[in-house]
């Protein structure tokens, strides 16, 4: 235990020393003041030592204050939520004892179960921890145990004053032991489960479906706490405490008995380096080509269909989309999954509220302008446009036959239809979800108007990025942007979608006008493209 405490203190000194160096660096950047601070200050042990102890002393009250802030935020959120659910004024005072207990339960759900338990499954070691571990050639076992035992206990002790006050305000003294045990128990349990999987060669990496699934217990506990808030009492806290103690002891025993430390650290180091590489790749190129480059990295040639019956541009484009179909389909599935969270949330609320939730026509009309932002987020238009440039056009535009008017227009039409196919799936799902939330009890003209708006948006988001790409073709052979107008028009759809979330116009005429305006833009834009694209679709 002494060695673990020593490691934690060394790490704290290492972190604060870096903060001192950063503080001195930015202090020297301040006009007038910076000139009076010599560069040799970095070598002055006395100055840096004094600042280190000053930072150490100041960090202690700030830690306590931060914990007060977070618990206050959770209690305030619980109070506002209860008031909204009961029809009272959201900010009405005084706070009820139920608000304190619900806030505490949400804190356990999110900070304990969701964050700390998930922390046990982290496959990546932070850059600062890697530097500390490698530069000082530390024992991996002692470093891991200091992270497992000392770090969460220190965080829990920082909550001590806030938990004492909260337990007094709620008149529930069991809040104190339950709160102090919550963080170390959740983190130890997370590591114990992760080690169990690791010994059985099941590796849980960042962004895997297993990693996302870890969010469910915390979210479920928070939702249950809200709907069953009347059951939050002394018995609830006592049950939590009785559950926590054996989980803490069993998890501690399991963690201390884990002996594959070196193999475990090698796995985490490999994952960390892979993440560093991914971040480096994300910084390559620019925002207008980055998605295309990422798709190029992910490309794997699976079993391909026979395309020998096609010729010319049809064959070239069909081959391109066939190769990237798996990646595009995966992107579409992710978007559909996030979209399906909306009806799932509605169904969950309806289940616990014991009454069906239905979106009235007035609510639907007010909601429709927001669907532009949903379609913007779900569209594959920008991603596919980048794909065709990075993986095809940047090479093919050097050849004269590829710049012929007939070839250019055939390529645009094929690509537009492919984007339309992908976006139509997302748009259809959006339309069905809207109708399901309203139980299909809308008047026929509302249904037709909703369908027209979503159809026009599908064409808009399938057309716009490809259209401005063909009309302006702003890229050089080095993938640099040389046309500033392209940057403006590329962001135009976002601002159109954002503006519609802010206007809050609940009018059928506005929805109809918006749909007609979008249809005119696509129609007129296509006529412009027929005339201009053969002249402008060139490498700059």
The pLDDT, as a whole number, for residue 365 is: 85
Residue 481 three-state SS: strand
The mean per-residue pLDDT over the stretch 290-304 comes to 53
Other beta carbons less than 10 A from residue 286's beta carbon: 13
Predicted confidence band of residue 521 (pLDDT cuts 50, 70, 90): very high
Predicted confidence band of residue 537 (pLDDT cuts 50, 70, 90): confident
**What string of H, E and C letters represents the secondary structure of 246-287?**
HHHHHHHHHHHCCCCHHHHHHHHHHHHHHHHHHHHHHCCCCC
- Please state, in angstroms and rounded to a whole number, the distance separating the CA atoms of residues 332 and 337: 9
**Whether residue 94 has a cis bond before it, omega within 30° of 0:** yes
Look at residue 455 and tell me whether its pLDDT is greater than 90.
yes
The pLDDT, as a whole number, for residue 288 is: 46
- 431 to each of 220, 351, 454, 507, how far by Cα in Å? 28, 23, 7, 19
Look at residue 324 and tell me whether its pLDDT is greater than 60.
yes
pLDDT in tens, 348-364: 766 665 666 667 778 78
The mean per-residue pLDDT over the stretch 513-528 comes to 93
Tell me which of 283 and 505 has the higher pLDDT. Answer: 505
Look at residue 300 and tell me whether its pLDDT is greater than 70.
no
Look at residue 371 and tell me whether its pLDDT is greater than 70.
yes
Average pLDDT over all residues of the chain: 79
The mean per-residue pLDDT over the stretch 144-171 comes to 85
The mean per-residue pLDDT over the stretch 77-82 comes to 85
In terms of pTM, does the model score above 0.85? no
Cα 404 to the center of its chain, rounded Å: 43
pLDDT in tens, 211-260: 667 777 888 888 888 888 888 888 989 999 999 999 999 998 998 888 88
The mean per-residue pLDDT over the stretch 522-539 comes to 86
The pLDDT, as a whole number, for residue 46 is: 65
The pLDDT, as a whole number, for residue 502 is: 83
Comparing 102-106, 302-306, 381-385, 525-529, which segment has the lowest mean pLDDT?
302-306
Contact 415, 499 (CB under 8 A): no
The mean per-residue pLDDT over the stretch 444-458 comes to 91
- Percent over 70 (pLDDT), the chain: 75
- Name the DSSP letter for residue 399: S
């Amino acid at each position: 235990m002494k060695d673990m405490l020593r490691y934690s203190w060394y790490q704290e000194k290492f972190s604060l020393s870096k903060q001192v160096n950063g503080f001195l660096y930015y202090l020297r950047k301040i006009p007038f003041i910076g000139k009076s601070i010599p560069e040799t200050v970095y070598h002055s042990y006395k100055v840096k030592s004094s600042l280190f102890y000053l930072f150490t002393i100041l960090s202690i009250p700030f830690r306590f204050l931060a914990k007060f802030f977070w618990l206050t935020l959770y209690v305030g959120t619980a109070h506002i939520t209860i008031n909204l659910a009961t029809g009272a004024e959201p900010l009405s005072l005084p706070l009820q004892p139920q608000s304190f207990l619900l806030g505490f339960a949400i804190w356990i759900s999110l900070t304990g179960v969701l964050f700390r338990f998930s922390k046990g499954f982290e496959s990546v070691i932070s850059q600062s921890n890697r530097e500390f571990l490698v530069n000082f050639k530390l024992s991996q076992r002692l470093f891991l145990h200091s992270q497992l035992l000392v770090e969460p206990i220190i965080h829990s002790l920082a909550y001590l004053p806030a938990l004492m006050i909260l337990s007094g305000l709620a008149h529930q003294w069991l809040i104190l032991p339950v709160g102090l045990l919550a963080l170390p128990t959740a983190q130890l349990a997370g590591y114990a489960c992760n080690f169990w999987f690791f010994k059985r060669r099941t590796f849980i990496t960042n962004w895997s479906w297993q990693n996302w699934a870890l969010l469910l217990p915390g979210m479920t506990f928070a939702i249950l706490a809200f709907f069953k808030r009347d059951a939050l009492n002394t018995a609830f806290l006592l049950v939590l405490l009785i559950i926590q103690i054996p989980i803490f002891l069993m998890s501690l025993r399991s963690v201390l008995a884990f002996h594959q430390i070196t193999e475990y650290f090698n796995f985490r180091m490999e994952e960390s380096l892979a993440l560093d590489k991914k971040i480096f790749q994300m910084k390559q190129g620019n925002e207008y080509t980055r998605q295309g480059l990422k798709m190029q990295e992910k490309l794997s040639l699976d079993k391909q269909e026979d395309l020998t019956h096609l010729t010319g541009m049809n064959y070239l484009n069909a081959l391109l989309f066939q190769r990237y179909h798996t990646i595009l389909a995966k992107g579409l599935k992710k978007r559909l999954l996030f979209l399906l969270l909306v009806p799932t949330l509605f169904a969950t609320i309806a289940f616990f509220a014991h009454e069906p939730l239905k979106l009235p026509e007035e609510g639907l009309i007010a909601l429709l302008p927001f669907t532009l932002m949903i379609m913007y987020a779900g569209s594959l238009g920008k991603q596919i446009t980048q794909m065709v440039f990075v993986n095809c056009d940047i090479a093919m535009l050097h050849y004269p036959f590829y710049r012929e008017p007939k070839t250019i227009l055939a390529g645009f039409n094929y690509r537009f239809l492919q984007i339309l196919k992908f976006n139509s799936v997302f748009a259809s799902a959006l339309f069905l979800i809207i109708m399901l939330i309203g139980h299909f009890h809308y008047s026929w003209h509302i249904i037709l108007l909703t369908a027209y708006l979503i159809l026009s948006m599908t064409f808009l988001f399938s057309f716009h990025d490809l259209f401005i790409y063909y009309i302006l073709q702003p890229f050089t052979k080095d993938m640099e942007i040389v046309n500033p107008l392209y940057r403006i028009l590329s962001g135009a759809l976002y601002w159109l979608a954002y503006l519609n979330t802010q206007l809050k116009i609940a009018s059928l005429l506005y929805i109809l006008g918006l749909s007609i305006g979008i249809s005119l833009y696509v129609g007129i834009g296509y006529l412009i493209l027929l005339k201009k694209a053969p002249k402008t679709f060139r490498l700059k």
